[in-house]
Structure 1
Amino acid sequence: MKGIVFTEFLEMVEKKFGIETVDTIIVESNLKSEGAYTSVGTYDFWEMQNLLANLSKQTTIDINSLIHSYGLYFFDSLKNGYPYIFNYYKTAFELIAGIEKHIHVQVRKIYPDAELPYFINHEEDDSKLVIEYQSERAMYAFAQGLMERTLEHYNEKATIKKEFLNDKGTKVLFTLVKNA
């Protein structure tokens, strides 16, 4: 997993829960990296799982809620770091539908070793988008947070429904329907 995911996560934890919480979850997680991440480095997903588990223990917030909050937070990193992406797409649905064919292609050029989720568009028009999330990391809540902030960025309103295609959460079908 790319280091930017870790650095931004720890930044979010610090802003929401304080530096003491960051220190506590790093110590309790017994990380190989010792919590010293660089944005361009690559780290084991196991470290993120431990950080999330310990943050959940510290805050009594369930892991998927924390991951969702992180998706909401991480959107600003993308917006600030890659503003041209948001200028390229005219609507939230266009951007979300373009994740696999455009955005992830560009990410792989910059980070060839990045392990990204995979998205399959099943249905797409101006008022409805059905997109399937696939990842062994089961961070569908992160993807949902990013989708919600994308809609907000484009000042669009839509209902997002998710359907689990397996018990692990590694395959999730998102249906986005624009509100009239």
Structure 2
Amino acid sequence: MKGIIFTEFLSLVEDQWDEDMVDDIIDACELPSGGAYTSVGTYNHTEIVNLVIALSEKSGVPVPQLLNIYGKHLFGRLAHHYPHFIDQSLSLLEFLEGVERYIHVEVKKLYPDAELPSFETKRLGPNKLEMIYRSSRHLDDVCHGLMEGSMEYFKAKGTITREPLEDGTKFIIDLTE
């Protein structure tokens, strides 16, 4: 897993709690990296799992809620660092439709070893999109948070519902514009 996932998670912990919490969760885990991450490094995804579990135990916030919060935070940070990936889209649904065919293609150019989730999209109407998320890491709650963050970014109103599938998760984004 790319280091930016780790550095942004620790940034969220510092912002929402404090530096001591960052140290506490790193100390609570036996991390092969020692908790020293660079945004371009590659680390085992079990390290982020351990950090999230440690944060949940220390903060009392359930893991799914933490992952959702993190997804929203991550979208905001990615939008700040990589606005060209987002600003070319005229709407939320157009942006979400382009994740697989544009953003992930560009990420793979920069990081050929990145293991990215896959997304299949289908328009169900002018304001409704079905998005199938598949990942061996099963970070559905992070994905949901990323979608919520993208809704906020595009100032879109609506709902996101999700349904587990045998090999992924189906999200339905239904805008009320």
Q: TM-score, normalised by structure 2?
A: 0.96
Q: Which residue of 1 aligns with 2:108?
A: 108
* Equivalent pair of 1:13/1:22 in contact (CA under 8 Å): yes
Q: Which residue of 1 aligns with 2:74?
A: 74
**Amino acid corresponding to residue 130 of structure 1 in structure 2:** E
Q: Which residue of 1 aligns with 2:86?
A: 86
Displacement of 1:127 = 0.9
- After TM superposition, the structure 1 stretch with the greater mean CA deviation from structure 2, 24-33 or 145-154, is 145-154
Q: Which residue of 2 aligns with 1:165?
A: 165
Displacement of 1:124 = 4.7
Q: Which residue of 2 aligns with 1:46?
A: 46
SS in 1 for 2:126: coil
Q: Which residue of 2 aligns with 1:153?
A: 153
User: How many residue pairs get matched?
Assistant: 177
Q: TM-score, normalised by structure 1?
A: 0.94
Q: Deviations over 1:77-105 (max 9, x none)?
A: 11111111222000000001111111101
Displacement of 1:156 = 1.2
* Aligned ranges 1:132-147 → 2 under 5 Å: 132-147=132-147
| Dislocated runs of 4+, deviation >3 Å | 122-125
Cα separation, 2, equivalents of 1:26 and 1:140: 24
Q: Which residue of 2 aligns with 1:7?
A: 7
SS in 2 for 1:33: coil
- Percentage of identical aligned residues: 40
1:179 maps onto 2:137 in alignment: no
CA RMSD for the aligned pairs? Answer: 1.2
Which blocks of at least 5 consecutive residues in structure 1 are unaligned?
Answer: none
Cα separation, 2, equivalents of 1:60 and 1:155: 31
Cα separation, 1, equivalents of 2:42 and 2:162: 30
Which blocks of at least 5 consecutive residues in structure 2 are unaligned?
Answer: none
**Amino acid corresponding to residue 178 of structure 1 in structure 2:** L
Cα separation, 2, equivalents of 1:173 and 1:80: 27
